[in-house]
Amino acid sequence: MQAMKKYMENEFNQPPVGPWSAMTELTATGMGILTDDMKGLRQMACMANKDVTMWFLGDWGQKAHIVACDFFRETGIVKTAILWNIRKAKNTTCDI
């Protein structure tokens, strides 16, 4: 998770011009697939999704265009996107 967060921090410090997608899915290595260390894609997503939601509740949500994640029903990313779109429409970062 730390490697993904560091990568995303770098992307958000200098985001590409125009719309882009933050791809927040974890990918198993070949050996990880063979040994099933992560207990499948759903388990990997479960490990990542809570952190991803928290990251995007912060400043990243203001800068994000598209956030892709596996098993989104196990996240709060949709509610987070709605929250940030309301904030953007009101031109504020406050929910009051």
Q: Is residue 52 part of a domain?
A: yes
Q: Is residue 95 part of a domain?
A: no
Reported pTM: 0.78
Q: Is residue 26 part of a domain?
A: yes
Extract the tokens encoding 2.
């730390």
* Across 61-90, average pLDDT: 90
Q: Is residue 13 part of a domain?
A: no
Domain count for the chain, please give it.
Answer: 1
Residue type, 24: T
Percent above pLDDT 70 for the chain: 96
Percent above pLDDT 90 for the chain: 36
The pLDDT value recorded for residue 96 is 66
Report d(CA 35, CA 40) in Å as an integer. 10
- Each residue's pLDDT tens digit, 25-70: 887 777 776 777 767 778 888 888 999 999 999 989 988 889 999 8
Domain range for 46: 2-7+19-90
